[in-house]
Chains A and B, each alone.
Chain A
Amino acid sequence: MSGGWPRFLLGRLIRVVAVCFILVTVVFVAVRLVPGDPAQKAVGFLDGTRKEKDAAIERARSDLNLDQSLPRQYVQSLVSAITFDYGVSFRTQESVSRVILDRLGSTLRLALGGTMVVIGIAVPLGLIVGLSTNGRRKGLEVGFSGLTGFVGSVPPYVMATLLIYAFVNSLPWFPRIPEGSVADDVLPSLAVGLGPALLLARIIRLETLSVLGQDYARTARSKWLPSGRVVVRDVLPNVLAPALTIGGVVFASLIGGAVVVEGIFNRNGLGSKLVESILIGDFPVVQAVALLLGVVVVVVNALVDVALAVVDPRRLVT
């Protein structure tokens, strides 16, 4: 097994680097497929005389390396990716890293909040319902499946609308205007987390039932070992795998994928920034944000793989 870990980690590392390389290439090609001259768009936000504009276009061209040959541009984009230097935003003239840093806090809070909702609701709920429906309480089982299937299928942005209607409009539990406190993150986190949480709870219930049906769990219980110990030692490690996997997927997808929910709650996150920049053709920002979001997805997936291998060393083989 000691030989397994270095090999495993190296394999994951190579995969991360390979996918990041592909990402840079895809983003490079995608930006060049966009119709129109990026440099023209860059100066679209400026006022001034014809001459000033022409000078600005030239400057934008050299900033974007558009005046060089394609292979050189590609090498340049690899260098930019490694140093994460994407120049300045066309619109605000701020540095791209500044723009991203400004948005990162809000995005991370939502992603963390959403993941906490997913794990915090799914694991206890799935465990409790699983332990108490083990061959008994048919009604609870049917009610649980129906409710989780129903709520779990509501898309996050619809959930957001319903939550605002319920807890801001009807019951004034949350303020209409964000106050800058943790309370602002509660409804958005619930909106993005509730659906995946309930679907994960279903998986965890099934996992719990399958562990309880194993011979060793039956033996432990037939020997009247305290059921708490069976849960902690046998059930929990087994439900950890789906919880980590789905938690990781939710976290990664929320870094950039919560665009609509961000819009509904008036949050300024990375996803909204990406959409906004695409609409106005702010290429330095589009390139940087797209790449960053892609890298987050790849890295989080790799970390989940490693965490899964820690929990279950059998995974080292694959």
Chain B
Amino acid sequence: MKGRIRALLGTPTGAISVVLLLAILVLAVIGPAVFGDAATTTDFLAILQPSSSAHPLGTDGAGRDILARTLVGTRLSLVLALVAVSIAAGIGLLFGAALVTIGGRTERVGGTVIDTWLGFPSILLSVLIIAILEPGAGAAAVAIGLSIAPFFARITLSSAAGVVNLDYVSAARLLGLSRVRIGTRYVLGSIADALVVAVFSMFGQALIAVSALSYLGLGVPADVGSSERYSIDWGRMLNEGIENFRQRPAGALGPAVAIAICGLAFGWFGDALGRTFNPRLVVRRRTYADISAADS
């Protein structure tokens, strides 16, 4: 365990990502309570102000503090990404595990289905899913979850394929253990580390994708009222910021940089985690993540 922690913090990107993640988590917990008032107070005498000591990143089109809004937005952005990744991991794992358990031709056909599903731009797939579900924050999370689920199915399928022919699994089969028991106890147990790494790597991607949907107006709605401090997310802010980008770029740069930092932190943490669990995993996994990163 000690060796693993050292391996995690041993690389510069690993150490930076751990520090960033802790900061992001703290912000997500305390953000709305601490900065909520500043983020939602409108001041129509001070709209689109440049940066000043009172408003370090200036104010938006309704005179609200952009820095405070960016900080408060951490929570909703993270929660939506979490929902999306949970859905993706759940469905992907079940689908992949079912295919491995059934085996044979079904497994091969299923593998082709997964690869085709993976080949589609995830943003496109999620836009189609949202057309069915009607736009909204929940729909955006579900849509992104479904469009990155094949990634987890592929990892489950590929890693499990490497395990099912190992001696101890064969031994369990000869002993007459049921397929389900072998699947959960032996196969799942030994591919769990690969899946955990994938969850963290995809978390950043999911956050980027959910924000993209909000940016397009398909995710978090422009909400006002008493719960406003809980309905600020970076995608929506980016959309509003782009409108005034020419005069006051900070409105878009704030959320844009926040999205980039979060994506980086989770990606780097996933890589570092991968190196500690299994140094050989890194090379193979990167290529998938890289390609899927290209399409949002």
* Complex Cα gap A271–B128 (Å): 11
Residue of A nearest to B241 (CB): A161
Measured CB to CB, the closest approach of chain B to A159, in angstroms, equals 9
Question: Which residues of chain A come closer than 8 Å to B253, judged between CB atoms?
Answer: 161-162, 165
Measured CB to CB, the closest approach of chain B to A233, in angstroms, equals 26
Residue of A nearest to B130 (CB): A278
Task: Write out, one digit per residue, whether chain B residues 32-45 have a CB within 8 A of any chain A CB (1) or not (0).
Answer: 00000000000000
* Complex Cα gap A275–B264 (Å): 27
Question: Which residues of chain B come closer than 8 Å to A161, judged between CB atoms?
Answer: 238, 242, 245, 249, 252-253, 256
The answer to whether B242 and A259 have CB atoms under 8 Å apart is: no
* Complex Cα gap A199–B294 (Å): 10
Interface residues in A1-51 by Cβ distance below 8 A to B read 19, 22, 30, 33-35
Interface residues in B240-292 by Cβ distance below 8 A to A read 242, 245-246, 249, 252-253, 256-257, 259-260, 263-264, 267-268, 283, 286-287, 290-291
Question: Which residues of chain A come closer than 8 Å to B121, judged between CB atoms?
Answer: 252-253, 256-257, 293, 297
The answer to whether B124 and A274 have CB atoms under 8 Å apart is: yes
* Complex Cα gap A249–B296 (Å): 13
- Which of B130, B253, B268 is most buried by chain A, counting CB atoms within 10 A of its CB? B253
Residue of B nearest to A161 (CB): B256
Measured CB to CB, the closest approach of chain B to A200, in angstroms, equals 8
* Stretch with Cβ within 8 A of B (4 or more), from A77-85, A149-157, A214-222, A309-317: A149-157
* Complex Cα gap A104–B124 (Å): 16
Question: Which residues of chain B come closer than 8 Å to A22, judged between CB atoms?
Answer: 116
Residue of B nearest to A193 (CB): B294
The answer to whether B290 and A34 have CB atoms under 8 Å apart is: no
Task: Write out, one digit per residue, whether chain A residues 138-151 have a CB within 8 A of any chain B CB (1) or not (0).
Answer: 00000000100110
B51 CB-CB contact with A under 8 Å: no
**Chain A contact patch, size range:** 35 or more
Question: Which residues of chain B come closer than 8 Å to A156, judged between CB atoms?
Answer: 294, 296
Among B127, B134, B264, B293, the residue within 8 A (CB) of A274 is: B127
Question: Which residues of chain B come closer than 8 Å to A249, judged between CB atoms?
Answer: 119, 291, 294
Task: Write out, one digit per residue, whether chain A residues 180-197 have a CB within 8 A of any chain B CB (1) or not (0).
Answer: 000000000000100110
Measured CB to CB, the closest approach of chain B to A56, in angstroms, equals 23
Tell me the dominant secondary structure on chain A's binding face: helix
The answer to whether A155 and B212 have CB atoms under 8 Å apart is: yes
The answer to whether B215 and A260 have CB atoms under 8 Å apart is: yes
B120 CB-CB contact with A under 8 Å: yes
Measured CB to CB, the closest approach of chain B to A17, in angstroms, equals 13
* Complex Cα gap A301–B116 (Å): 10
Question: Which residues of chain A come closer than 8 Å to B131, judged between CB atoms?
Answer: 30, 34, 278, 286
B228 CB-CB contact with A under 8 Å: no
Measured CB to CB, the closest approach of chain A to B124, in angstroms, equals 5
B13 CB-CB contact with A under 8 Å: yes
The answer to whether A33 and B132 have CB atoms under 8 Å apart is: yes
Interface residues in B1-24 by Cβ distance below 8 A to A read 12-13
Residue of A nearest to B271 (CB): A149
Residue of A nearest to B249 (CB): A165
The answer to whether B123 and A260 have CB atoms under 8 Å apart is: yes
* Complex Cα gap A146–B135 (Å): 38
A164 CB-CB contact with B under 8 Å: yes
B295 CB-CB contact with A under 8 Å: yes
Measured CB to CB, the closest approach of chain B to A260, in angstroms, equals 5
- Which of B131, B259, B267 is most buried by chain A, counting CB atoms within 10 A of its CB? B131
The answer to whether A253 and B215 have CB atoms under 8 Å apart is: no
Measured CB to CB, the closest approach of chain A to B288, in angstroms, equals 11
* Complex Cα gap A301–B212 (Å): 25
- Which of B212, B246, B263 is most buried by chain A, counting CB atoms within 10 A of its CB? B212
B88 CB-CB contact with A under 8 Å: no
Residue of A nearest to B250 (CB): A165
Task: Write out, one digit per residue, whether chain B residues 141-159 have a CB within 8 A of any chain A CB (1) or not (0).
Answer: 0000000000000000000
The 6 closest A-B pairs by CB, nearest first: A257-B121, A253-B295, A257-B295, A253-B121, A278-B131, A199-B290
11 contacts between A and B (CB under 8 A): A146-B13, A154-B264, A164-B245, A249-B291, A250-B294, A253-B295, A257-B122, A263-B215, A278-B128, A279-B217, A279-B218
Residue ranges of B at the interface with A (Cβ–Cβ < 8 Å) = 12-13, 116, 119-124, 127-128, 130-132, 134-135, 204, 208, 212, 215-218, 238, 242, 245-246, 249, 252-253, 256-257, 259-260, 263-264, 267-268, 283, 286-287, 290-291, 293-296
Other than the given A158-B208, A203-B290, A278-B128, 10 more pairs (CB < 8 A) read: A30-B128, A30-B132, A150-B264, A154-B264, A157-B215, A161-B242, A161-B245, A164-B245, A199-B290, A298-B116
